[in-house]
Structure 1
């Protein structure tokens, strides 16, 4: 492999966006972690846990969830990133469209799919919902279902499929969400006592 290609692979940055709601404690928080192709963190930003008073809940009503996700968590996290990812993967599909409007990088939600594997790693297949594709990122095993929030250009899907296939050679693509969840638990525990 040419040196330039090896360098560009090493420079591939994956972003992971995670928003946490502890409804039993009325606590909200969120974090974004940027990793290299091996899953090693290169940037991590979080929002301090947010707790609303009863009065604030009444005043915001049904708009509270949108206000929290969009204004207090998402905007702050994405603006604070020092390293911009080549792709942002959201743990919650409802964050995809919002994140797309704030970030120039492609944004998607990935989840395991129980279907038959596609022919080989790097292949993709459009689903009946125009904003969803199956991506075969590993040689064996089921594909991932990718939700884009918009109908993507085929060239975008092809590029992302290549990036994610390359990254999956070094890491489990969905595992960083587990680390973020644990990190947020630690942050909440240190600021509010055990969750």
Structure 2
């Protein structure tokens, strides 16, 4: 799948009972029902390691697993996908599947996702001299983030999150400004918009 080597292919179902027992607190009350409403089944489909692809392990990343998550709805809750990503204490790339479409998700300080697409439109490249750089490249492939010179991947993710927050604040303020009838308040909103746009340009 997604051009990953045949040598990495495995097929290990993950029973939801395992998730319910490990995350009993996080899935208390109706959260367990909501998890079940989102997730149909989970299967580990690839294990990328020194043995399967002849790329040496890194200090923090010895292997990367790929899990396919069959969804009952496209409008799933991110919290449920984050729980799955933390289940094994391993680096996990998640392939979300709903009807004929796929979406990739990966957790690196936050949940990062690709756009929904057809299977043939995805291609994952095993780039890197060790498993750590392979993981970093997966994060960039899934998220579309490019690391600027002088930044680490984690720093770049934080920067992109800040930009995303600023864009949302600008959109919200512009909406308010369009509805505002009092000229003084409208002017104050435009000043705030200008300040956020300047911060976005500097980021």
TM-score normalised by L of structure 2: 0.28
**Which structure's relative contact order is higher, taking Cα pairs within 8 Å and 6+ residues apart?**
1
Whose helix fraction is larger, Structure 1's or Structure 2's?
2
